[in-house]
Amino acid sequence: MSELTHFNEQGRAKMVDVSEKYDTVRTARAKTSILLNEAIYHQIKDGSNKKGDVFAVAQVAGIMSAKNTAQIIPMCHPLALSGVDIEFEWNVNKEASHYEVILYAVVKTKGPTGVEMEALTAASAAALTIYDMCKASGKEMVIGPTMLLEKTGGKSGDYIRS
């Protein structure tokens, strides 16, 4: 196991000093999902949600949250992101009444630390936004699981979830 680096000599939390690390290109891809009911599925598909275009608003929320991850995750470094993208994919089985949106967030930077937390935050915020915009039509929505799928760059090397 690697040494824990987020604690000072008194055993209290600290932000890791990355000033000695080299800038490298870093990417991360995260995934989450949200289970919906049939009415919400149709609202999103045909654009009839009273709050607006659900995927467009969720996309903006995901991008904004990636850019602001350091504001809500205490030990994250503020990063200049090179790019953020949110993708939506339907997983529908009408016979089984299964209506699911799968969300992917891809984040990229060139810097001294990775963007895994930014990708996970973006995916989560996008899913939460779908919930917020659709909750009037069903509060039984389920978000998750949320996971890192892959990351590139940095001292620890690349990672791909098997």
23 carries an active-site annotation: no
Question: How does residue 106 score in pLDDT terms, banded at 50, 70 and 90?
Answer: very high
Range of the domain at 119: 24-152
Q: Is 77 annotated for ligand binding?
A: yes
Residues 39-81 have pLDDT tens digits of: 999 999 999 999 999 999 999 999 999 999 999 999 999 999 9
Answer whether residue 162 is part of any domain.
Answer: no
Answer whether residue 54 is part of any domain.
Answer: yes
How many structural domains is the chain composed of? 1
> Does residue 1 carry a pLDDT above 60?
no
> Does residue 97 carry a pLDDT above 60?
yes
Q: How far apart are CA 79 and CA 88, in angstroms?
A: 25
Q: Is 118 annotated for ligand binding?
A: yes
> Does residue 96 carry a pLDDT above 90?
yes
Q: Is 75 annotated for ligand binding?
A: yes
Answer whether residue 161 is part of any domain.
Answer: no
φ, ψ (nearest 5 deg) of residue 4? -75, 125
Answer whether residue 15 is part of any domain.
Answer: no
**CATH number (domain holding residue 88):** 3.30.70.640
With the C-alpha atoms ordered 133, 78, 70, 24, is the resulting torsion angle positive or negative? Answer: positive
Answer whether residue 36 is part of any domain.
Answer: yes
**All residues at 6 or more sequence positions from 49 whose CB lies less than 8 Å from its CB, including other chains:** 43, 133, 134
Which residue in 17, 53, 132, 158 is the catalytic one? 132
Q: How many helices (H) and strands (E) does the chain have?
A: 4, 6
